[in-house]
Amino acid sequence: MTFSDIFKSSFLDEVTAFSILDIAIALALAFVVGLFIYFVYRKTYQGVMYASSFGLSLIGLSLITTLVILAVSSNVILSLGMVGALSIVRFRTAIKEPLDIVYLFWAIASGIVFGAGLIPLGVLGSLVIGVVLLIFSNHRVRENPYLLVVNCENDTVEQEMKQLVSGEVKKQMVKSKTVSEKGIELTVEVRLQGQSTEFVNKVAGLPGVSNAVLVSYNGDYMS
């Protein structure tokens, strides 16, 4: 095989079939939308520990998906081979927050849309998704519940504690109750009135209450 044969190969013919301008526009839009997804993820994150690496992976995922779709759309044989190659890939990283799955699919979907050339759909769809996530996420933050764990001596002290708490919080709901020889351990979900936590001091000062702990609770709940 000579150098002339190499330059006449079908592989180089396929390379010249790409438009550099189209590739640049698709990757640039994917990068901008990836940054937008990263911004929305930072604003709506409600987990325990924020991982910046996951946010950066959303940007990379948008770019990589766009690159794959551009390659697949240029050659039918390549698309079949790509499907077969990706079908054997397995990811073992655990998703700790259910909402993280939404951001992963959002990044992948934006890459697919921009790679296919559907620019208005990708831009408008990403804007709508981002606004919806920001609105509902901020609504959830305002209703952040807490768990109150109290150790009571007997049933009488338990009733006094419940009456005190009911007058100090918006809403209370018993989550668990453990009875033993040492007394009663009660776990109550409460909604605070503003951000005041002074009622915990009052609960701890009741006769027969040995311990009172208030902790933040980030789980899902029904209103």
Tell me, yes or no, whether 8 and 102 share the same domain: yes
| Residue 122: how many other CB atoms lie within 10 Å | 24
Tell me, yes or no, whether 126 and 152 share the same domain: no
Q: What is the mean pLDDT of the chain?
A: 77
What's the pLDDT at 158?
85
The answer to whether residue 222 is domain-embedded is no
Return the CATH number at 186. 3.30.70.260
Tell me, yes or no, whether 138 and 151 share the same domain: no
- The mean-pLDDT minimum among 20-29, 42-51, 114-123, 131-140 falls in 42-51
More confident: 192 or 109:
109
Give 174's strand partners: 188
Q: What is the pLDDT of residues 49-75, one digit of tens each?
A: 667 788 888 888 899 888 888 877 766
Could you tell me the two tokens for 216?
A: 């933040």
User: Domain span at residue 163?
Assistant: 146-216
Average pLDDT of span 127-132: 90
Tell me, yes or no, whether 113 and 168 share the same domain: no
Residue 223 has pLDDT above 60, yes or no: no
Tell me, yes or no, whether 131 and 165 share the same domain: no
Tell me, yes or no, whether 152 and 170 share the same domain: yes
The answer to whether residue 122 is domain-embedded is yes
Average pLDDT of span 103-122: 87
Tell me, yes or no, whether 113 and 179 share the same domain: no
Residue 33 pLDDT level (bands cut at 50, 70, 90): very high
Tell me, yes or no, whether 135 and 155 share the same domain: no
What's the pLDDT at 199?
82
